[in-house]
């Protein structure tokens, strides 16, 4: 199913079309497409080009690695993400490699990398759904993540499924409209809370 963004002007198509479905087809993702997602991550910008992202990936054919990631998700996410053929968990370095000082942009840069990936995925026919709902301690332990990295986000990736394949209790969520704040609520000029006049232009 498609739920394109309603916008004042047209957007770059994969941005317009991207959304976070819970219905996935279990069809595997071709290796070349997976590599294109990794490259999209790799070529994201980052503060001092530190590339603070470290990303775990597992495909459903590799039951052990896939189970590791799936087990880290909260039950509400496992309920739908377990059908996606690819799972990822992204972590962020909390320190700059260059001087050991705290890197407050680490989570920001991981977000850039993941959105780069989401747009690349969308442009090759895949869908993505990011998740905060996973057990951080379990993830740290299972994946042996060192202390100076912070588990940030889990992601389900695959081809779109159909609403009918979802259990009945999940269908409404899939078909309900997407919503956003208005431009005036988030784009300011001059002072916090003052909508930019450019919005009306």
Ligand X SMILES: Cc1cc2nc3c(=O)[nH]c(=O)nc-3n(C[C@H](O)[C@H](O)[C@H](O)COP(=O)(O)O)c2cc1C
**Of residues 45, 186, 56, the one with CA closest to residue 194:** 186
DSSP conformational letter for 164? G
Instruction: Verify binding: residue 133, ligand X, rule CB under 6 A.
Output: yes
Among 12, 146, 178, 185, indicate the residue that binds ligand X (CB under 6 A): 178
Shortest spacing between CB 66 and ligand X, in angstroms: 18
Instruction: Verify binding: residue 87, ligand X, rule CB under 6 A.
Output: no
**Of residues 93, 104, 94, 110, the one with CA closest to residue 45:** 110
Spatial distance between the Cα atoms of 126 and 33, rounded to a whole number of angstroms = 9
Kindly indicate which of the ranges 60-68, 92-100, 131-139, 163-171 contains the residues binding ligand X, using the contact rule CB under 6 A.
131-139
- Residue 151: strand, helix, or coil: strand
Q: Show the binding pattern over residues 140-159: x = contacts ligand X (CB under 6 A), - = does not.
A: -------------x------
Spatial distance between the Cα atoms of 199 and 185, rounded to a whole number of angstroms = 10
Shortest spacing between CB 201 and ligand X, in angstroms: 25
Instruction: Verify binding: residue 131, ligand X, rule CB under 6 A.
Output: yes
Choice between 23 and 34, CB closer to ligand X:
23
Residues 6+ apart with CB under 8 A from 17: 2, 4, 5, 122
Choice between 51 and 77, CB closer to ligand X:
77
| Phi/psi at 104 (5° precision) | -75, -10
Residue found under tokens 């895949």: 126
Kindly indicate which of the ranges 86-94, 99-107, 119-127, 130-138 contains the residues binding ligand X, using the contact rule CB under 6 A.
130-138
Choice between 77 and 91, CB closer to ligand X:
77
Instruction: Verify binding: residue 19, ligand X, rule CB under 6 A.
Output: yes
Spatial distance between the Cα atoms of 17 and 145, rounded to a whole number of angstroms = 34
Kindly indicate which of the ranges 82-90, 97-105, 127-135, 160-168 contains the residues binding ligand X, using the contact rule CB under 6 A.
127-135
Instruction: Verify binding: residue 35, ligand X, rule CB under 6 A.
Output: no
Spatial distance between the Cα atoms of 186 and 180, rounded to a whole number of angstroms = 10
> What is the contact surface with ligand X in residues (CB under 6 A)?
19-20, 77, 130-133, 153, 178
């Amino acid at each position: 199913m498609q739920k394109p963004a309603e916008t004042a002007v047209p957007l770059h198509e994969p941005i317009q079309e991207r959304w976070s479905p819970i219905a996935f087809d279990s069809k595997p993702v071709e290796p070349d497409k997976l590599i294109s997602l990794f490259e999209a991550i790799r070529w994201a910008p980052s503060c001092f080009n530190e590339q603070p992202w470290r990303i775990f990936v597992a495909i459903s054919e590799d039951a052990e690695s896939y189970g590791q990631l799936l087990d880290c998700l909260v039950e509400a996410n496992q309920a739908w993400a377990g059908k996606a053929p690819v799972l990822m968990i992204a972590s962020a370095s909390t320190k700059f490699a260059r001087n050991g000082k705290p890197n407050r942009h680490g989570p920001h840069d991981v977000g850039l990398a993941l959105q780069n990936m989401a747009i690349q995925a969308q442009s090759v026919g895949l869908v993505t759904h990011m998740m905060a709902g996973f057990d951080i301690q379990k993830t740290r332990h299972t994946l042996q993540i060192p202390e100076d990295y912070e588990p940030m986000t889990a992601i389900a990736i695959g081809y779109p499924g159909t609403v009918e394949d979802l259990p009945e209790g999940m269908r409404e969520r899939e078909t309900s409209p997407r919503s956003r704040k208005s431009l005036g609520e988030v784009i300011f000029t001059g002072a916090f809370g003052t909508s930019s006049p450019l919005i009306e232009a």
